[in-house]
Amino acid sequence: MTPSPVLRAEGLSMAFGAFKVLDRVSLDVFGGEIVGILGPNGAGKTTFMNLLTGAYRPTTGRVHVLGEDVTHLATADRCRRGIARTHQVPRPFGGMTVFENVLVAARNGRGDPSGDPVGLAWQVLEHTGLAGVANRKAGSLGLLDRKRLELSRALATGPRVVLLDEIGGGLTDAEADRLVALIRDIQRDGVTIVWIEHIMRLLTECCTRMICMAGGAVIADGLPGDVIDAPAVRTAYFGAAA
Amino acid sequence: MTDLTITRSSTTSRITLGLLVAAGLALAALPWINGVGGSGRAVALLVYVLLAVMWNALAGFAGLVSIGQTLFFGVAAYATIRLSDAGIDPFLATILATLIGALLGYVTSLFMVSLSGGEFAIGMWVLSALAHLCVNLDPLIQGETGTSLIALNAYDVETRAALTLWLALAFTAVFMAALILLLRSSTGAAITAIRDDEIAARSVGVDVLRTKRIVFVLAATGTAAAGALWLTSNTSFQPKAFFGVHWTAYMLFMVLVGGLGRIEGALIGAVLFFVIETLFGAYGAWYLVGLGAVAVLFALVLPNGLWGWIGPRLPGEAIPTGYFVHKKEGRTQHVDG
């Protein structure tokens, strides 16, 4: 018997007026996976993520978390069911300290409200390496720390799945490597990861599975090496001649 | 578990609290020092403080910019007239009218808070204009002719002035305390998060609508208290003088000049407005021109308001709503990068 998926997208379609961005995309993500999603600009990756988090409602299709249909739940409710996300352009609560940022997530985002949010928030900051700047205003952080803060807030909600939206973008190679190490750590702690990224190196280093999207549909799904070599993926990225 | 210490106050905040309490006591003693005239001006100051602090809570924290808070200001004044006409003591009527404002705030919140931006702002204005028209239809009010809180004649002038001032002080203290306690509560960090980034707040599980509704009802109640007080202090009720758009302009002025999103900003904005009005109010139209010029000047020179300049220069928050965390141990607080 196959295990039941942590996150299931079932025939998700999204149209803005007559323009179809996503066409019946289905995906099962299983516990412990790091699923990388790549695809050229306009492939529908970010729209797909927004449907998973509940930022948009799909035109058709359903989203399930741990077997529960969450299609009609708002973002905040889905967060409490175990879907957390990071934003492509970090969105810190700039006027609050780093610690307060994470405390808000620990207090509001957990499905199980028992436990001490203060202690939890601190633990997360120690894990992500932000404890030393806990009392600094989040608005004063540099890019790498802002990305760490995004990750910290996501973790503080006690997620089953974390959706990463281009978390590697804009970082130097060394910074990106530090982030990758952290993401691996998080996965070892039992959190499943779905990761949209343009930097292919990060995905191939990290992912247990990769899917490629183009034109609003999944065109390849499998091991990272196989997906990168797939003819359909090469066509999508480099044109027909490749 | 770790040895975490959370500090939520500082020397700055203790001094601020001392100053606020001293100011409150000084105002409370005013009837003996300065008589009726002084008390009336003090009530005006407290009404401005209430309006500024409440508008700031709504716009600065919940991100709900309302240009129709006169709905609560005017309806509470009207309710005071009506209750007093029904034979209730005018001071008790002031308190009951505030509760009616709270109820109106709750009912309004059910459909208004889910609106955002311009829709919310204009929607509130429409509601206020609607209430204004309805009040004009009441035969007791006689349209814009208005009426007076006649029942106040039961008190002699000195008693009336002193009671109004003390009631105003009590209201201001209660609403300030309520707002500060709310911001320090577990909901408080969620409110501040919404202030900074609503979308991010949603994605970490904050129930944005519920949180906004709490702030909205508090702001409605505080604004209603201000309206009832303004009536009790000025005794005459002409609908235009309570539902008029000039109140919205005053609220905007006080909060923007003082500093949006900080209680301290609203406070000093109200004090500044009071001082300008006291010194230049007699100049009529030119006073309003000057007020506009001050607002423009601040927008250009200090876009974050007075407190946006003062606040960061203080060693700690004056009105502390945040958390300062540190771990008791030798080797901690190290971080790479």
Distance from CA of A235 to the nearest CA of B (A): 35
pLDDT computed for residue B233 by the predictor: 94
How far from chain centre, in Å, is Cα B333?
Answer: 40
Of A27-31, A159-163, A225-229, the least confident: A225-229
DSSP-based three-state secondary structure for A192: strand
Domains of chain B: 35-317 (1.10.3470)
Q: B34 pLDDT exceeds 90?
A: no
Query: Six-digit token pair at A110?
Result: 């957990």
The domain limits of chain A are 1-82+161-171+196-242
Beta carbons of B197 and A94 less than 8 Å apart: yes
Per-residue buried b or exposed e for A35-44, using 16+ beta carbons within 10 Å of the residue's own CB: bbbbbeeebb
Strand segments, DSSP code E, in B213-330 are 236-237, 324-327
* CA–CA dist B256, B63 (Å, integer): 14
Q: Considering only CB atoms, which chain A residues are within 8 Å of B203? A: 53, 75-76, 79, 84-85, 87
Q: A1 pLDDT exceeds 60?
A: no
For residue range B7-16, list pLDDT tens digits in order: 888 899 999 9
Q: B330 pLDDT exceeds 80?
A: no
Bridging pattern class, strands A19-29 and A192-196: unpaired
Q: What is the DSSP letter of B60?
A: I
Q: B335 pLDDT exceeds 80?
A: no
Comparison of pLDDT for B10 and B230, the residue scoring more: B230
Phi, psi for residue A226 in degrees, rounded to 5: -65, -40
Query: Six-digit token pair at B240?
Result: 């235009």
- SS3 sequence, B160-220? HHHHHHHHHHHHHHHHHHHHHHHHHCHHHHHHHHHHHCHHHHHHCCCCHHHHHHHHHHHHH
Q: A240 pLDDT exceeds 70?
A: no
**Any idea what the Cα angle at residue B197 is, between residues B193 and B198, rounded to 5°?**
85
* CA–CA dist B140, B80 (Å, integer): 13
- Do residues B272 and B261 lie in contact, with contact meaning Cβ atoms separated by under 8 Å? no
Q: A184 pLDDT exceeds 60?
A: yes
Q: Considering only CB atoms, which chain B residues are within 8 Å of A103? A: 189, 323
For residue range B136-183, list pLDDT tens digits in order: 999 999 888 999 998 898 999 999 999 999 999 999 999 999 999 999
- Do residues A212 and A236 lie in contact, with contact meaning Cβ atoms separated by under 8 Å? yes
The arithmetic mean of pLDDT across residues B238-267, rounded, is: 94
Task: List CB contacts of A212: < 8 A, sequence separation 6 or more.
Answer: A37, A38, A39, A218, A219, A220, A221, A227, A230, A232, A233, A236
pLDDT computed for residue B316 by the predictor: 82
| B contact test, residue of A88, A97, A100 with most B CBs within 10 A | A100
Q: B33 pLDDT exceeds 70?
A: yes
pLDDT computed for residue B329 by the predictor: 63
For residue range B268-306, list pLDDT tens digits in order: 999 999 999 999 988 988 998 999 899 999 989 998 999
Query: What is the ipTM, given to two decimal places?
Result: 0.91
A85 touches chain B (CB under 8 A): yes
Average pLDDT, chain A: 91
Query: Six-digit token pair at B144?
Result: 């814009």
Q: Considering only CB atoms, which chain B residues are within 8 Å of A80? A: 205
For residue range B181-193, list pLDDT tens digits in order: 999 998 999 999 9
CATH of the domain spanning A1-82+161-171+196-242: 3.40.50.300
Measured between alpha carbons, how far is residue A190 from residues A30, A162, B55, B76 in Å? Answer: 11, 11, 46, 56
